[in-house]
Amino acid sequence: MQALDVVDTAAAPPTTAMSPEDEAALAEAVAALERMTFAGRLTEMVGRQIDFAGKLVPQPISGAVGKAVTLALRAALRVALTGLSKPRGAHASAASRRRLHRALVTASGAVGGAFGLISLPVELPVSTTLILRSIAEIARSEGENLDDPEAALACLQVFALGGQPGTSDLVEGGYFALRGFLAKSVSEAARHIAVRGVGGETAPILLRLMSQIAARFGLVVTQKVAAQAVPVLGAVGGAAVNLAFAQHFQSLARGHFIVRRLERTYGHAPVRAAYERIAAGLRRAADMGRNSLTFPGGKDGAAV
């Protein structure tokens, strides 16, 4: 499906040169949004077991995962619409609150690892809501006004960013393509909330947005379930998997809200152009790194 990036060009600020500090921040955002997948993060944390973990999840489990994802996103939607504008524990620093959220998510993962897939319908909504609160802290630190429904929904949008590029039939092409795909649903949902308030969680507009996010979020949840289903991991492994789960979405949120902050300063088109330039440079560097591991002129292209 062709992704259409909906942008209000009339409201865009005049184009100015990006400062070195903002260039560095954008490079950090590109790395967060384009390079590290959840599977890659899991491999770093739990080793080679993740390579075969996906094979251990029976096909009927996919239905249970889908139901758990729906429950989790509904819980997150309620929090996004009613509970993000004022941070809990306002006396603590944002970094301290993010660490607390991450610790609680890790603990819920230990429960999931100990009790297995049966705990998913309870554990996933809890961990997703905690991660959403940490995403909100990141959004707030990047200047977002979470009283604005669009900004609150942008926090939920982070859960759609975690699907590995190219693994969904919904959209391909990276971060901006996915944002473009979701743009109409997000803007219509924000208008609906602004006019009718937060009571109509089952409105078709909101359900459409939730289904689009769920299709991407479910990819990562399936990988999480697969890893936690490995018998030898147990509670300790379950905690590590959920720590990776939390870190993954916090990293995506940091990149997402850096980009949004820069767009408010420089405009959408200049930020996208700079983003794509940096992303292309990272891809070239990665290709060169892979090529350097291959002996030139080797009969079979043997790698070091």
CB 137 within 8 A of CB 158: no
- pLDDT in the model for residue 64: 81
Q: How wide is the angle at C-alpha 294 spanned by C-alphas 290 and 299, nearest 5°?
A: 145
Q: What is the pLDDT of residues 234-251, one digit of tens each?
A: 555 667 788 888 889 999
Contacting residues for 277 by C-beta, under 8 A, at least 6 apart: none
- pLDDT in the model for residue 61: 67
232 C-beta neighbours (distance < 10 Å), count: 7
Distance between CA 139 and CA 260 in Å, rounded?
9
Contacting residues for 98 by C-beta, under 8 A, at least 6 apart: 134, 137, 138, 250
- pLDDT in the model for residue 264: 96
H or E element, residue 301: none
The torsion angle over the Cα atoms of residues 185, 62, 129 and 52, rounded to 10 degrees, is -120
What value does the mean pLDDT take over residues 224-240? Answer: 66
Per-residue pLDDT band for 170 (boundaries 50, 70, 90) equals: very low
pLDDT above 70: residue 21: yes
Is 303 in a helix, a strand, or coil?
A: strand
H or E element, residue 244: helix 234-266
- pLDDT in the model for residue 241: 80
CB 221 within 8 A of CB 69: yes
